[in-house]
Amino acid sequence: MGLLDFFKKIEPDKKGSPILHTAYDAFFTFLFTPNAVSKGGTHIKDGMDLKRLMVTVVISMQLCYLFGTYNIGHQHFVASGQFLGFLEGFHLKLAHGLIKLLPVFVVTHLVGLGIEFYYASKKGHAVEEGFLVSGALIPLIMPPDIPLWILALSIVFAVIIGKEAFGGTGMNIWNIALLSRVFIFFAYPLTISGDQCWVSGYEKISSGASATYGWWHTSFFNGIFEKLGLTLFDPATKVADGFSGATPLALAYEGGWEKVTSVFSEGQMLWGAIPGSIGETSKVFIVIGALILILTKVASWRIMAGMIVGLIGTTWMLNAIGTTPFMQVTWTQHLMMGSFLFAMAFMATDPVTASTTNTGKWIYGILIGFIGLLIRVMNPAYPEGWMLAILFLNTFAPTIDYFVLESNIQKRLKRA
């Protein structure tokens, strides 16, 4: 109790210092759990608050963060033809990954939480915890070399226009992390699409292009590695001849599954040692995160199952038509490529923007699987569809729930 009493004594005046009080309140509620827990014979057994709910989601993403950080470095050295074994040059790959990921993570949270603190102080309420999850998701769905000013601009747009304009956490219509990504996609498409953006640390992805090592590479980490007798970052590093940076989806659009497996093995795609967004490549670690969310009942298994049903049904339909190599890719092969599993686990299941009725969750998930795969396979300009499909169904989630409830009402009236 001594620590609790200390924090209560130093609480700033809410009216005299609203911004300082907002910062204090955010830190206080992060340290201490609610002091009220329901008791008795009610069906509610725990005083779960929003922070604990959000922290569970953030914890479920940590394996994606760990693997994604390392894979940034791995893809960098694969592009140069060095350390092709996944664990070769471990220290260099990890260091490069940290150099690229940490600025993205820091800028995301400084900008996003800064906006949250400003609005909380102006409205006179506690800091809302919704950005805990959005701030964790945004770095994972970005390319490793995303310009930080573009990232900051996208977060300002997503948080202010997508959330605060609607009333704050719990009132937003669309998923905030996806709004940030879709803003970049339409405003600055070359920074988040094509073959150039998924491998970091080079002037451009073409044969002979030089590495863009900075002070952190050649002075900070090289100084440490030299003392330890380890291999150093070489400023003369260049992109190897023949390397393209193409993702499995881009290859599949060109020549189907055969083209994909001519470059990447199924093991590489399963574990995630491929180019792509920072946290979306490792299918194994995404599935572990999804299981955590299901077992803790934080995310809906019905939405996840519905998306898989929609994916399978749409794949069978496209397989039956089969006029292009990409249309002949099977549903299991589709699971190995792109960001379907990440979107299923962490994006579509957002409880604020998804359908809330049990039947509505099935419809919502199936439609995302159907629309997303159609965009992936049939749209030559954008060979991935989950971002657009989820945002589209976010818009219609209330309508889905409305018709589900109306249907239940009519059934009960008939029985009466």
Q: Quote the tokens at residue 132.
A: 């805990």
Cα distance between residue 29 and residue 2, in whole Å: 16
Tokens of residue 161, six digits? 């226009």
Determine the distance from the C-alpha atom of residue 18 to the mean position of all C-alpha atoms in its chain, rounded to a whole number. 32
Residue 23 has pLDDT above 60, yes or no: no
How far apart, in whole angstroms, are the C-alpha atoms of residue 320 and residue 137? 36
Token pair of 394 as six digits: 């976010």
Give the lowest-confidence range in 7-11, 141-145, 241-245, 338-342: 7-11
Question: For the segment 286-299, what is each residue's pLDDT rounded down to a tens digit?
Answer: 999 999 999 999 99
Q: What is the pLDDT of residue 42?
A: 44
Q: How confident is the model at residue 245 (pLDDT cuts 50, 70, 90)?
A: confident
Contact 190, 204 (CB under 8 A): no
Question: For 247-278, how does the pLDDT look when each residue is reduced to its tens digit (9 = 90+)?
Answer: 999 899 888 999 999 999 999 999 999 999 99
Tokens 């979306």, residue located: 280
Which has more confidence, 322 or 238? 238
Report pLDDT for 345: 95
Taking phi first (over 0 means left), then psi (-120 to 50 degrees means alpha), and beta for anything else, what does residue 297 get? Answer: left
State the average pLDDT over residues 100-127. Answer: 85
Listed by start position, the domains of the chain span 13-31+50-245, 288-416
Query: What residue spans of 167-272 are helical by DSSP H?
Result: 176-187, 215, 222-228, 248-261, 266-271
> Range with the lowest mean pLDDT among 21-30, 53-62, 399-408?
21-30
Residue 380: per-residue pLDDT: 73
- pLDDT score at 119: 82
DSSP per-residue letters across 332-395: HHHHHSTTHHHIIIIITT-TTTS--SHHHHHHHHHHHHHHHHHHHHH-TT-S--HHHHHHHHHH
Among 5, 10, 46, 3, CA closest to 25: 10
- Shortest CA distance to 25 belongs to which of 127, 96, 132, 153? 127
Query: What mean pLDDT, rounded, does the chain reach?
Result: 88
Q: Is 194 left (phi over 0), alpha (psi -120 to 50) or beta?
A: left
Residue range 354-378, pLDDT digits in tens? 999 999 999 999 999 999 999 999 9
* Exposure letters 66-98 (e unless 16+ CB within 10 A, then b): ebbbbbbbbbbbbbbeebeebeebbebbbbbbb
Q: Per residue in 375-397, pLDDT tens?
A: 999 987 777 889 999 999 999 99
The pTM of this model reads 0.87
Distance CA 264, CA 269 (A): 7
Two tokens, residue 348: 């579509």
Q: What is the pLDDT of residues 179-201, one digit of tens each?
A: 999 999 999 998 998 888 899 99
The torsion region of residue 208 among left (phi > 0), alpha (psi -120 to 50) and beta comes to left
β-bridge partners, 238: 210
pLDDT of 43 over the 50 cut: no
Q: Is the pLDDT of residue 117 over 50?
A: yes
Q: Which of 4-8, 300-304, 383-387, 408-412 has the highest mean pLDDT?
A: 300-304
